[in-house]
Amino acid sequence: MKQHAPPIGAAADPFPLAPAAVPGAPLASVDTPALLLDLAAFERNLDRMQAAADAAGVQLRPHAKAHKTPAVALAQLARGAVGICCQKASEAIPFVQAGVADIHVSNQLAAPAKAQLLAQLARRARISVCVDDATQVRALAGAAQAAGSELGVFVEIDVGQGRCGVADADAVLRLVEQIAQHPQLGFRGLQAYHGGVQHLRAHAERRSRARQAAERTGQVVATLAQAGVACATVTGGGSGSVEFDLASGVYTEVQPGSYAFMDRDYGDNEYAGALRFEHALFLATTVMSAASGTHVVADAGLKSLAVDSGLPAIWQQDAPSGTLRYAEANDEHGIIQAIGGAALPPLGSVLQLVPGHCDPSFNLHDELVGFRGGVVESIWPISARGLSR
């Protein structure tokens, strides 16, 4: 289990570091870099997704790999989510500790130690996991038997991403037979997730590719039904495909994660339908050097922001088309330039960035600072940060 070092500033420590943020304090007083959550926008995002899932009669199981923060999962469950997804066995630990009762690990595990951890967690919560090979089935069965627990099992099918998952219904049937040999395992259905669809920019292209994935999934479900195997749950989908997955008639459960935050990359998608979400996640950064005159330097670089999906946008409500550009990320420096002769922000000013990719950005921070109306309201631990085993 993750151990936190004693807080800096404890009695024996001669170098007290004040907390980055305190509930009730003005947002402007937050020490940077700090990961911020606009609670009003976040809550609207949660409400919108839950309402869409309810209207479609599809279960919502939001992905917690997007945020790694138990308080976020609890807010989703309070609105009607049936459970959450995690991507790793260890990632599930703080969520089980926080009282999340139903977790699907939307991924495969190979090492026996991970199966053992899941089987232990299954003594406290309803746990399921994906397989695409009989070896995984045997490892899960052995671990569940030893722990005296039960594990749900989903067979993952590859619906075009070319990542994990078996190719066809015959392969699913062979695994279902294997699963049926172990009373401590229960076949729950299929996982069919297509990551390649999520960030296709054009709405029409996302719709057509998501449809293809759903059709392929529907064919596998039908073939299994002819063989007498029922799929109680068909789970999949992400924030970029969810509107199509909800309408597909194939998915009984969706697992989007980023919709709650809307990073820059998802913001760059084209949304034609009603189901759109707001930027709710920001990184506060302070201009710490304005010496050059051609650019300024902010205190957030690669150690506070993930740039695998591109650089962050600068949130400028007063200038939506943007007069500033985050041009380059060094370890602890962010180079900010002005566009078209606009003024550079002065030394000491605080900017809010929209991270390029929310999942790995969360993984760089210990705390999520929630604010409303310019005031800090909550400080939520990002407890699963670093839990990648």
Ligand X SMILES: Cc1ncc(COP(=O)(O)O)c(C=O)c1O
Q: Which parts of this chain interact with ligand X (CB under 6 A)?
A: 63, 66, 85, 106, 193, 195, 198, 238-239, 255-258
Cα end-to-end span (Å), the chain:
11
Q: Whole-number minimum distance, CB 359 to ligand X, in Å?
A: 6
Q: In degrees rounded to 5, what are phi and psi of residue 137? A: -60, -45
Q: Whole-number minimum distance, CB 2 to ligand X, in Å?
A: 22
d(CA 377, CA 40): 11
Q: Whole-number minimum distance, CB 29 to ligand X, in Å?
A: 31
Q: Whole-number minimum distance, CB 63 to ligand X, in Å?
A: 5
Q: Which is nearer to ligand X, 143 or 192 (CB)?
A: 192
Q: Which is nearer to ligand X, 244 or 351 (CB)?
A: 244
Q: Whole-number minimum distance, CB 260 to ligand X, in Å?
A: 9
d(CA 329, CA 305): 9
Q: Which is nearer to ligand X, 198 or 286 (CB)?
A: 198
Q: Whole-number minimum distance, CB 161 to ligand X, in Å?
A: 9
Q: Which is nearer to ligand X, 234 or 298 (CB)?
A: 234
Q: Whole-number minimum distance, CB 355 to ligand X, in Å?
A: 13
Q: Under 8 Å CB-to-CB from 326, ≥6 apart: which residues?
A: 298, 311, 312, 313, 314, 334, 335, 336, 353
Q: Which is nearer to ligand X, 85 or 376 (CB)?
A: 85
Is there a contact between 324 and 338 (Cβ–Cβ < 8 Å)? yes
Q: Which is nearer to ligand X, 235 or 286 (CB)?
A: 235
The answer, yes or no, to whether the previous bond of 355 is cis (omega within 30 of 0) is no
Q: Whole-number minimum distance, CB 295 to ligand X, in Å?
A: 32
**Residue 257: closest CA among 56, 23, 69, 6:** 69
Q: Whole-number minimum distance, CB 65 to ligand X, in Å?
A: 7
Say which amino acid occupies 84: I
Q: Which is nearer to ligand X, 45 or 258 (CB)?
A: 258
Maximal CA-CA distance, the chain: 72
Q: Which is nearer to ligand X, 63 or 295 (CB)?
A: 63
Q: Which is nearer to ligand X, 17 or 167 (CB)?
A: 167
